[in-house]
Chains A and B, each alone.
Chain A
Amino acid sequence: MNSNQSNPPRLAIWWLLHVCPGSHNDALTGDLIERFREGQTRGWFWGQVLIAFAVGVAREIRWHWPAFCYAAAGMEMPGLLSPVFRQSFLHWFRLWDSLAWWTPAVGLPEAICHGIEETLQILEFGSPHWTHFELLRLSTR
């Protein structure tokens, strides 16, 4: 038996130890290596690691569901609110402009709208990362 057959996939072990949520992953890794050396395949090993990952993520969500809902809502809200904000601000400033009260500061409303839009886009872009961070933080508790 060559070393490739007796040693399980290194990436799978790294994934299990560093990415999978759980407090006993070292012992689980030992169990998987023991079974692998009894004759299981590399595909079996990867399958076990992916199942452990899925089970771990599901368990973390179940144990910390308020934080998960908060993070998921944080990811979706800017995306949902962005068109509403944009439309309401544009409508308001166009009305203002049509009344010709805005002459000294022409262009300012559009700039404000643009600024708000940019902020919302940053939130939209940033929120998935924030959610990812939240999940990682939860998994390392």
Chain B
Amino acid sequence: MVLLAVVRLADDAYGVPISKELLTLAGREVALGSIYAALDRLEQKGFVTSLLGDPTPERGGRAKRYVRVTPTGVRALKMTRTALMNLWSGIPVLEGRRS
């Protein structure tokens, strides 16, 4: 979910917009600390890269950590989508048919 939010936000992907995106689209209030932990894991796997922006006064003079998805990350997302679609298909109960 975090990786998808990063892809959707494109150039504006940092902690605050990611958390808002997850709340709006998935209806989940995710703690910023958890988002950072997920981003660290994704960066370790090579799915995202991060760079620091300029410090701003409204953030107490602290920089934003912008993240961007890598080609490996996009590939991983596509593979996950394919795997999930395969798992969902052929289940009558989920497709609204009677078994």
Q: Which A residues lie within 8 Å of B55 (CB)?
A: 30
Q: Is B34 an interface residue (CB 8 A)?
A: yes
What are the interface flags for A29-54 relative to B under an 8 Å C-beta threshold, 1 for contact and 0 otherwise?
11111110100000000011101111
Q: How far is the CA of A23 from the CA of B52 in the complex (A)?
A: 12
B31 touches A31 (CB 8 A): no
> Which of A27, A33, A47, A49 is the one whose CB lies under 8 Å from B65?
A27
Q: How far is the CA of A54 from the CA of B52 in the complex (A)?
A: 24
Known contacts A31-B32, A35-B32, A37-B58; A26/B37 CB under 8 A = no
What are the interface flags for B19-55 relative to A under an 8 Å C-beta threshold, 1 for contact and 0 otherwise?
1000000000001111011011000000000101001
Q: How far is the CA of A52 from the CA of B37 in the complex (A)?
A: 8
Q: Is B76 an interface residue (CB 8 A)?
A: no
A27 touches B33 (CB 8 A): no
Q: How large is the interface on A (under 10, 10 to 19, 20 to 34, 35 or more residues)?
A: 20 to 34
Closest CB in chain A relative to B87 CB, distance in Å: 27
Known contacts A24-B40, A26-B62, A27-B63; A34/B16 CB under 8 A = yes
Q: Is A61 an interface residue (CB 8 A)?
A: no
A52 touches B33 (CB 8 A): yes
Q: Is A95 an interface residue (CB 8 A)?
A: no
Known contacts A27-B15, A52-B36; A34/B31 CB under 8 A = no
Q: How large is the interface on B (under 10, 10 to 19, 20 to 34, 35 or more residues)?
A: 20 to 34
Q: Is B60 an interface residue (CB 8 A)?
A: yes
Could you say which of B33, B56, B60 has the most chain A C-beta atoms within 10 Å of its C-beta?
B33
B62 touches A29 (CB 8 A): yes
Closest CB in chain B relative to A80 CB, distance in Å: 34
Can you list 24 A-B pairs, Cβ within 8 angstroms, ordered by A?
Answer: A22-B40, A27-B15, A27-B62, A28-B15, A28-B33, A29-B60, A29-B62, A30-B59, A30-B64, A31-B14, A31-B15, A31-B19, A33-B59, A33-B60, A34-B59, A47-B31, A48-B32, A51-B31, A55-B31, A55-B34, A56-B33, A56-B37, A59-B37, A59-B40
